């Protein structure tokens, strides 16, 4: 059973979540590197382009905008209303919904499901990770390809330490400090933004999930791990993109 000390998803304070327009300045997507990798993985695994895709924890919908140029039927879901409001305004042609990956049920299946930007790492308790994977299964059909951007627990030293915002209205720089909490398998990030108006502090805990652990969660819900991919881009250097295929429900 999970301990009371498991920290909840609400334990996040993030300047960029309060200002989604700044999120895209800091995480500019490096020429859609993640979306392009996903496109390649999906093409390799399906042997053709995907016809439908659900992006869970889609944030501002930046990756979905690129993927929607090749995939006709895309839906983005995020549990933060501010992100969804921004995504809808910025990308009105895309279907964005507010929802929690632990409970979401759209009552339909997709050929591809993605979860990028360590969205799953915001889920801390084992029972909640189980619920999130059950959600992925609930939106899958046999053959659905799932791609998860995970923090590689062996490469946390590659997580970004410095961040910059440099736009006409705002110049800010941040330094991030990371601290491991061994028993909870959490990586705490404290980030301090320096702006002319003063300091702003961010705080988030990322749940680290080891590969065999993830395989176990996925297998329990009918997914077979296909492999892990990497990107060299600075902001993704600690990422493992784990691809899995849905076999169908367990008997």
- Shortest distance (Å) from residue 196 CB to ligand SAM: 26
- How many residues bind to ligand SAM according to rule CB under 6 A? 21
Q: Which of the ranges 89-97, 116-124, 155-163, 171-179 carries the binding residues for ligand SAM, by CB under 6 A? A: 116-124
Sign for the pseudo-dihedral over CA of 158, 119, 226, 111? negative
Does position 117 interact with ligand SAM (CB under 6 A)? The reply is yes
CA–CA separation, 119 and 56 (whole Å): 8
- Shortest distance (Å) from residue 121 CB to ligand SAM: 8
State which H helix or E strand residue 34 sits in. helix 33-46
- Shortest distance (Å) from residue 213 CB to ligand SAM: 19
Q: Is 109 helix (H, G, I), strand (E, B) or coil?
A: coil
Q: Considering only residues 52, 80, 140, 205, which one is a binding residue for ligand SAM as defined by CB under 6 A? A: 80
Q: Considering only residues 37, 74, 83, 94, which one is a binding residue for ligand SAM as defined by CB under 6 A? A: 83
CA–CA separation, 119 and 146 (whole Å): 14
Q: What angle do CA 157, 231, 179 make, to 5 degrees?
A: 20
Q: Interaction with ligand SAM in 187-246: which residues (CB under 6 A)?
A: none
* Residue 241, phi-psi category: left (phi > 0), alpha (psi -120 to 50), beta (remainder): beta
Q: Which of 96, 100, 105, 118 is nearest to 27 (CA)?
A: 118
CA–CA separation, 120 and 238 (whole Å): 15
Does position 59 interact with ligand SAM (CB under 6 A)? The reply is yes
Q: Which of the ranges 75-83, 89-97, 137-145, 165-173 carries the binding residues for ligand SAM, by CB under 6 A? A: 75-83
Does position 148 interact with ligand SAM (CB under 6 A)? The reply is no
Q: Which residues are near ligand SAM by CB under 6 A? A: 9, 27, 56-59, 62-63, 78-80, 83, 100-102, 116-119, 122-123
């Amino acid at each position: 059973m999970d301990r009371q000390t498991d920290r909840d998803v609400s334990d996040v304070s993030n300047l960029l979540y309060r200002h989604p327009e700044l999120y895209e300045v800091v995480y500019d997507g490096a020429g859609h590197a993640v979306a392009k990798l996903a496109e390649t993985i999906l093409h390799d695994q399906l042997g053709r382009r995907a016809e439908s895709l659900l992006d869970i924890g889609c944030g501002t919908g930046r990756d979905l905008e690129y993927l929607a140029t090749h995939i006709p039927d895309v839906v983005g879901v995020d549990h933060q209303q501010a992100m969804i409001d921004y995504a809808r305004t910025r990308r009105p042609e895309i279907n964005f919904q507010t929802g929690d990956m632990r409970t979401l049920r759209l009552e339909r299946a997709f050929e591809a499901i993605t979860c990028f930007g360590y969205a799953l790492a915001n889920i801390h308790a084992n029972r909640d990770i189980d619920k999130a994977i059950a959600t992925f299964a609930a939106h899958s059909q046999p053959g659905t390809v799932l791609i998860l951007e995970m923090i590689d627990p062996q490469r946390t030293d590659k997580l970004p330490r410095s961040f910059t915002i440099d736009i006409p209205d705002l110049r800010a720089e941040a330094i991030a400090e990371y601290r491991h909490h061994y028993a909870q398998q959490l990586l705490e990030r404290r980030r301090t933004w320096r702006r002319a108006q003063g300091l702003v502090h961010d705080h988030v805990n990322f749940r680290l999930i080891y590969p065999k652990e993830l395989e176990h969660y996925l297998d329990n819900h009918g997914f077979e791990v296909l492999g892990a991919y990497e990107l060299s881009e600075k902001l993704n250097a600690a990422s493992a993109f784990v691809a899995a295929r849905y076999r169908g429900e367990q008997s």
